[in-house]
Amino acid sequence: MGRTFGEIQAGPALVRAARFAVVATVLALGWAMVHAMQVRATWYDEYYTFWVTRGAIGWGEALRAHWLADNHPPLFYALSRATAWLGETIEARRGLNQLIALAALGGSLAALRGRAPGDRVLAALFLLVLAGQGAAYPFVAELRSYFLSYCAVALLALALVLVWTGEGAPGRTLRIVLWGATLVAFNTHVMTSVVASAAMLPFVALALLRRDRMRLRTVLAPAMAAGLLFTATVAVQASLWLENTAQFWIPAGLGQALGSLLILADYALGANRPASLAALAGLGLLALRAVRERALLPRLEAALLLAGGIAIAAVLALALQAWRPSVIPKYLIGLIPLLAMIVALGLAEACERLRSMAGAALLLSVCAMGLVSLWRNAGAIDGQKGWDAAARVIARQVARCPDTAVHVDPRWNRYLASLQPADNARVVAFAYRHVAARHGFAVEPPQSRRMPRGCPTLFWAQTVSEAMPAEAEVLAHERAQGFAIERLWFHRVDGAWIASTDPGSFSVKSAD
């Protein structure tokens, strides 16, 4: 079938509404990111990143001994190390995500330079849908690579659609954006590499089938370059990945991967259900136009190609899971921007079909619903589990009685410390020391058996990643380690437990 262009004829009211919605959403998202970075509790994986990217490690040592030994390409660790100047706390280092967001926004504006108003409306709707994704919001406040994956695939999806739907050869700036997004998306996280490559494959295949050399060169060249770079990384890391995942924490079975895919799709499409329904109507209208005009319209074609990429990514995820457990919902975060772009394509058609003020009203309603979702997500971020809640309880006790002894026993984190890479064993101990210091107390050295007379002795364990031990088991073990304990009082908080020799530390049940 031939290609026809210009199916989106955005009027002045729709363009003005899009500009207002983008400004409002960017400002709200900026506030929400700052809020989340300050209030979200720190958690173990962030301490891992902090440890392997600290300034005390030289670049060469960090790459050889720490980053390449991990289960993913080293790009995010390199970015974290390069931005260590942001500060010496987890909260400060999370600022890297703000820089990533600014880079993605700048790349989007660059890609839209010289494009038709309809393309800018489409990009605005894409931003509105992305900003309201509750499943992605917590990652804006993590010192981990998931937000980079989210932004890279989002920019890749936008660039692919602009290349595919534009008339003539894409401009130099758009090609640069496509190259940058592809290189990052292919080399941030293994599952993101799978998603990004799957997303590009249908575009390459159709361009090849049609002998569309211009689009084939435009899409295939960055895919091949990014793929070669990823392949080189795999050649170095593959044996380590296989060793690290020989006994892995992710459950086996295809049900794990299928469930992850369904959960993520439900989260992505359910984040703004009215917008998803309006998008479905818009896609239906595009399909009717395609039948009436006997031509596959470029925006409908782009939506179908993205859907094909999602299907390929799903099949690959199932295959990887069958070979080796490797799939959980957040690993597939790159699928959310692909689904969001399909929604945006349908919404763009719906907004244009309504014409003038009605289309602008639909766009602004999508913006309003996205802002409400963003507000709700921001309010929930403080409820995320982490290491700080237990540390605050201990800090209050130490403030009441400064000679309180705080002990950490490696037994209660033996599974976490045993995980590969070997840095986990060092990071566990580091995390306890670091989180204690940030809350104003210290943990006793491993060989210490200090039990002060005038203050309580506390035993502290973060056990989110492993089963909570029975209280009697804790008491028996600590007695066997040389602590003369008659009784312990327990407090459970946020996936952690604290046991005290003094019932006054907190009012909970005891173990004899």
pLDDT of 6 higher than 60: no
CA 403 to chain centre: 41
- Percentage of the chain modeled with pLDDT above 70: 96
Quick: pLDDT tens for 372-423: 999 999 988 987 889 999 999 999 999 999 999 999 998 898 888 888 888 9
Per-residue pLDDT averaged across 436-464, rounded?
92
Specify the pLDDT at position 464. 63
pTM: 0.93
Q: How many helices (H) and strands (E) does the chain have?
A: 20, 5
Quick: pLDDT tens for 451-472: 999 999 999 999 766 677 888 9
Instruction: Please report, in angstroms and rounded to a whole number, the separation of the first and last CA atoms in the chain.
Output: 79
The residues that bridge with 117 in the sheet, in sequence order, are none
pLDDT band at 7 (very low <50, low <70, confident <90, very high): very low
pLDDT band at 187 (very low <50, low <70, confident <90, very high): very high
Q: DSSP string covering 353-393, please?
A: HH-HHHHHHHHHHHHHHHHHHHHHHHHHGGGS--SHHHHHH
Contact call for residues 40 and 382 (beta carbons, < 8 A): yes
* Tokens coding 201: 């494959």
Q: DSSP string covering 419-460, please?
A: SSSTHHHHHHHHHHHHHHHHTT--PPPTT-----SSS-EEEE
- Which of 142, 66, 157 is CA-nearest to residue 345? 157
Residues 276, 344, 159, CA angle at the centre, nearest 5°?
150
Specify the pLDDT at position 510. 46
pLDDT band at 5 (very low <50, low <70, confident <90, very high): very low
pLDDT band at 102 (very low <50, low <70, confident <90, very high): very high
Per-residue pLDDT averaged across 480-506, rounded?
89
- Which of 483, 387, 494 is CA-nearest to residue 433? 387
Per-residue pLDDT averaged across 32-38, rounded?
94
Quick: pLDDT tens for 238-276: 887 777 776 677 888 888 889 999 999 999 999 999 999
Across the chain, what does the average pLDDT equal? Answer: 91
Quick: pLDDT tens for 309-339: 999 999 999 999 988 888 899 999 999 999 9
Contact call for residues 348 and 128 (beta carbons, < 8 A): no
Quick: pLDDT tens for 143-179: 999 999 999 999 999 999 999 998 888 999 999 999 9
Per-residue pLDDT averaged across 411-439, rounded?
90
Using only C-alpha atoms, what is the Rg of the chain?
Answer: 26
Specify the pLDDT at position 509. 47
Per-residue pLDDT averaged across 22-33, rounded?
96
* Tokens coding 31: 């506030």
Specify the pLDDT at position 10. 64
Half-sphere exposure of 9 (CA within 13 A, CB side): 7
Specify the pLDDT at position 431. 94
How many other C-beta atoms can be found within 10 angstroms of the C-beta atom of residue 3?
Answer: 14
DSSP 329: G
Specify the pLDDT at position 466. 64
CA 277 to chain centre: 26
Quick: pLDDT tens for 113-138: 989 899 999 999 999 999 999 999 99
Q: DSSP string covering 242-302, please?
A: HHHTTT-SSPPSHHHHHHHHHHHHHHHHHTTHHHHHHHHHHHHHHHHHHHHHTS--HHHHH
How many other C-beta atoms can be found within 10 angstroms of the C-beta atom of residue 392?
Answer: 14
pLDDT band at 365 (very low <50, low <70, confident <90, very high): very high
How many other C-beta atoms can be found within 10 angstroms of the C-beta atom of residue 200?
Answer: 26
Q: DSSP string covering 188-223, please?
A: S-HHHHHHHHHHHHHHHHHHHHHT-HHHHHHHHHHH
